Amino acid sequence: MGKSIELKTGSTQVRLSLPDGTDVLKIREPEKTVTEAGFAADLDGALPSQPLGGCRVAVVVADKTRLCGYGRYLPILIDALEERGASTETITLYIAYGTHPAQRDRESRAVYGDVFSRYRFVHHDCTDDAVFADLGQTQRGTPIRIRKDLLDAGLVITFGAISHHYFAGYGGGRKLIFPGLGQRAAIYGNHSLFLDPERRTLSAGCLPGNLDGNPLAEDLAEIESHRPADLAIHGILDSHGTVCRLRVGSGVAHFRQACEFHGKHCEIAADDGYDMVVASCGGYPKDINFIQAHKAVHHAAAFVKDGGSLIVFAQCRDGIGSKTFLPWFDMGGWDAAFDYLSEKYQGNGGTALAVMEKTRRINIFLVTDLLPDVCRTIGVTRLDEKAAVHMAKQHSGSLAVIPNASLLVKRWT
């Protein structure tokens, strides 16, 4: 028997003994270069030099599932804006939920700190059609619905962590404005591009880390052109969720450079799959619910051979995380769900199809708080912690362990 490793699940850890020959797959941790003084200096050079008195400022931030050191760095941004004449009367912060449920005030205070108590925060509601302006549609037919108050703002700033996204290529950046502040029907229209109706499969270009030839990502880029951020703050995190860099700038090239930098640290080549992979989502908040945990499941599954096994530690303290996810598993299988979604994309249908696709190819086991009936519904086997540890310890085939599968991604090219 070889070494042991601790894997995070929720806010706790489990120790796993590793058989000899086990590969431990980790990201290349980015060097921590960000400082509060350095961030303030970067903002000083990037923010408009003219006074902001009377200018409406919109700051778009992520929710509790996509942390970016807001408690430490958001006050520095606010101070920089106030030094230029902005105030509590002119600064509004928007929480980019997309279609996800709104968080409680106590959760918001924990994420954003004192800024949440001092400034106006808008809990975005994708179903409130009255707040959107109709700007037509994209070349692919996605409705372009932008918040009116965002169009009226004199300065729009996005602030969030860059991450891989299993069908949009990358998260963070432009995704904070859309789908983060998008209208539900428009979000569903964009997400429907994850499906390729002609080939009756998921779109080949919709891969984590891929922006070119990805119909969904290219659609996002077109939507972004109608109201790009005037300033974008892209966070680069390590495997512990610590902010290592804050890249301050604007434009498509700036976003792509941040994505490339993130990818350089989080993507690894792996030609041959493993008979078994044991993975953690990285703990809370990446396993706060199954919708979030699925991203780690998706990343880890790419390292598993056809017919192999994947064990994922995913607490899911908040359950599934969506009311629109489980019904897709009652439609009679992948083909029936695909046919329906091809005609009328809704909810987390694409995520459901992605889960079905993986459970047809490999065996997935979850160490989770999800109920056994829920696990059976989505085609996975629920294990307790002891059984999972024993299963990995007794495995005789090729084995890999991924301590943070929310970050680690298989390089596709």
The CATH number covering residue 258 comes to 3.40.50.11440
pLDDT of residue 270: 84
Torsion of CA 366, 371, 377, 381, to 10 degrees: 30
Spans of the chain, pLDDT less than 50: none
Q: Provide the number of structural domains found in the chain.
A: 2
The answer as to whether 30 is a domain residue is no
Does residue 225 form part of some domain?
yes
Whether residue 31 lies inside any domain: the answer is no
Q: Are residues 16 and 45 in the same domain?
A: no
The pLDDT value given to residue 271: 76
Give yes or no: residues 162 and 228 share one domain.
Answer: yes
Q: Do 202 and 332 reside in the same domain of the chain?
A: no
Segment (H or E) for 9: strand 4-9
Q: Residue 221 class from Cβ within 10 Å (0-12 exposed, 13-18 middle, 19+ buried)? A: middle
Are 246 and 201 found together in one domain? yes
Contacts of 34 (CB under 8 A, 6+ apart): 243, 244, 245, 246
Q: Is 307 exposed, middle or buried (0-12, 13-18, 19+ CB in 10 A)?
A: exposed
Q: Which of 205, 233, 265 is the last residue of a domain?
A: 265
Note the pTM of the prediction, 2 decimals: 0.94
Of 236, 265, 294, the residue at which a domain comes to its end is 265
Last residue of a domain, one of 265, 296, 324: 265
Which pLDDT value is given to residue 326? 97
- Identify whether residues 174 and 123 lie together within a single domain: yes
Residues 327 and 251 in one domain: no
Do 46 and 61 have their domain in common?
yes
Give the type of residue at 366: L
Q: Are residues 232 and 349 in the same domain?
A: no
Task: Identify the domain containing residue 336 by its residue range.
Answer: 4-25+270-410
Give me the pLDDT at residue 44, please.
97
* 3-state SS assignment for residue 343: helix
Same domain, 62 and 150: yes
Query: What's the CATH code of the domain at 369?
Result: 3.90.226.30
Tell whether 194 and 79 lie within a shared domain.
yes
For residue range 324-363, list pLDDT tens digits in order: 999 999 999 999 999 999 999 998 999 999 999 999 999 9
Query: Which three-class secondary structure state does DSSP give residue 147?
Result: strand
Same domain, 315 and 174: no
pLDDT digit string, tens, across residues 385-398: 999 999 999 999 99
Tell me: do 235 and 356 sit in the same domain: no
